[in-house]
Amino acid sequence: MLRILFVCHGNICRSAAAEVVFNQMAREAGGDRAVRAESAAATREKIGNDIYPPMKRALAARGYVCPRHAARQTVRADYGRYDHIIGMDGENMADMRFIYGGDPQGKLARLLDFAGRPGADIADPWYSRDFDGALREIEAGCQGLLAALTAGRD
């Protein structure tokens, strides 16, 4: 099974939403036995918190089921536990490289790399307040990531 880790600043908006979106997309595509996503934060600020209510509402409005979530911080050992580690913006990427001691196996990428927008950031809706816009970008990235991971498996 391929294991994916989504990472954002606090693990209550973007990465938590990406986990929900990706896992539901994988289930609906029948690939949930081959790939599984989890999420984490680059910081310790929101440890233990559930998905932020405005993001939870945006997810629900688009038909996603949100299981109970408890934010956690990514740790160095996560680098060995996951096959792909996906950040949401440049700050997350820098934080991950610091936490993991680099990226010797080339596991790190930004989510929008898989939506045909290499190097593009998904703005943090905590600050932008655009939860729907962030979710649309997360969906595009997750669709592209799932397609990339399942290409050639049939």
Mean pLDDT (whole number) for 86-101:
98
Active site (annotated) includes residue 124 = yes
Domain boundaries 2-150, corresponding CATH code: 3.40.50.2300
Length of the chain: 154
pLDDT band for position 150 (cuts 50, 70, 90): confident
Q: State both tokens at 20.
A: 């929900």
Q: Catalytic pick from 95, 110, 124, 142?
A: 124
Active site (annotated) includes residue 142 = no
Q: Tell me which of 25-29, 47-51, 131-135 is least confident.
A: 25-29
Token match 């990406």: residue? 18
Q: Tell the burial category of 125 from Cβ atoms under 10 Å away from its Cβ (0-12, 13-18, 19+).
A: buried
Rounded to the nearest integer, the mean pLDDT of the chain is 95
Active site (annotated) includes residue 130 = no
Q: Catalytic pick from 13, 14, 89, 110?
A: 14
pLDDT band for position 57 (cuts 50, 70, 90): very high
Distance between CA 20 and CA 66 in Å, rounded? 6
Q: What is the pLDDT of residue 74?
A: 98
Instruction: Read off the pTM.
Output: 0.96
Q: 15-38 pLDDT, tens per residue?
A: 999 999 999 999 998 866 789 999
Distance between CA 21 and CA 69 in Å, rounded? 14
